[in-house]
């Protein structure tokens, strides 16, 4: 994931990865039919860590407002992770299968946020709109802070602002 986040598919050179892992190139093909299968499995693992884990962790509190706060904290506290999403978007423009994966990931993220907003009492249309606004705002945040660290004070101010704008609290 780190190599993909640093160089996209060009960073996933089988020979180089085999050397770093201390194995042969042929052993790579024992586990993966081809490079595209490897990339698909890599993206699936990234989704588990970056989407499914956020959903699971933020679902723990009982109150919808606390779930939304947990989701926001997880979304906006992860910085310095490189350009994984940028390279996935670039790859999706070149290969339809990866475009479908990206669309599914983004729809899952927005649908989850919309469900939380509805649970917090917003009408379905407002919940849907706010989930799209939040996700697109997140993309800008991700781009701005993908290489730097956000301190806790700035993060907390930001989360408070988002809660006020999204929920009126």
pLDDT per position as a tens digit, 68-119: 999 999 888 876 667 888 899 999 999 988 999 999 999 999 999 999 999 9
CB 39 within 8 A of CB 84: no
Q: Would 24 be classed as within a structural domain?
A: no
Q: Would 75 be classed as within a structural domain?
A: yes
CB 163 within 8 A of CB 71: no
Instruction: Tell me how far apart the alpha carbons of residues 139 and 141 are, in angstroms, rounded to a whole number.
Output: 5
Domain of residue 122: give its range. 43-167
Q: Would 12 be classed as within a structural domain?
A: no
Q: At what angle do helices 84-94 and 96-119 cross, to 10 degrees?
A: 130
Among residues 58, 4, 77, the alpha carbon closest in space to that of 35 is found at 4
The CATH number of whichever domain residue 158 belongs to comes to: 1.10.357
Q: What pTM did the predictor assign?
A: 0.86
pLDDT per position as a tens digit, 22-52: 888 888 888 888 888 999 999 999 889 889 9
Q: What token pair was written down for 98?
A: 């990866």
Per-residue pLDDT, 25: 81
Helix boundaries (H) for 48-151: 53-58, 64-77, 84-94, 96-119, 124-145
Q: Would 120 be classed as within a structural domain?
A: yes
Q: Would 141 be classed as within a structural domain?
A: yes
Cα 68 versus chain centre, distance: 16
Instruction: Tell me how far apart the alpha carbons of residues 69 and 131 are, in angstroms, rounded to a whole number.
Output: 14
Number of domains comprising the chain: 1
Q: Which residues contact 134 (CB under 8 A, 6 or more apart)?
A: 110, 113, 162, 166
Q: Would 65 be classed as within a structural domain?
A: yes
Q: Would 125 be classed as within a structural domain?
A: yes
Q: Would 17 be classed as within a structural domain?
A: no
């Amino acid at each position: 994931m780190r190599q993909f986040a640093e160089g996209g598919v060009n960073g996933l050179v089988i020979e180089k990865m085999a050397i770093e892992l201390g194995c042969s190139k042929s052993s790579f093909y024992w586990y993966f039919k081809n490079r595209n299968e490897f990339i698909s499995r890599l993206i699936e693992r990234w989704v588990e860590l970056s989407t499914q884990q956020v959903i699971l962790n933020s679902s723990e509190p009982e109150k919808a407002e606390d779930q939304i706060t947990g989701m926001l904290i997880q979304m906006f506290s992860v910085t310095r992770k490189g350009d994984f999403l940028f390279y996935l978007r670039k790859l999706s423009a070149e290969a339809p299968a990866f475009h479908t994966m990206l669309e599914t990931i983004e729809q899952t993220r927005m649908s989850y946020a919309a469900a939380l907003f509805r649970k917090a009492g917003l009408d379905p249309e407002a919940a849907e709109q706010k989930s799209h606004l939040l996700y697109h705002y997140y993309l800008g945040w991700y781009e701005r802070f993908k290489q730097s660290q956000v301190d806790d004070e700035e993060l907390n101010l930001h989360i408070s602002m988002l809660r006020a704008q999204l929920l009126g609290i």
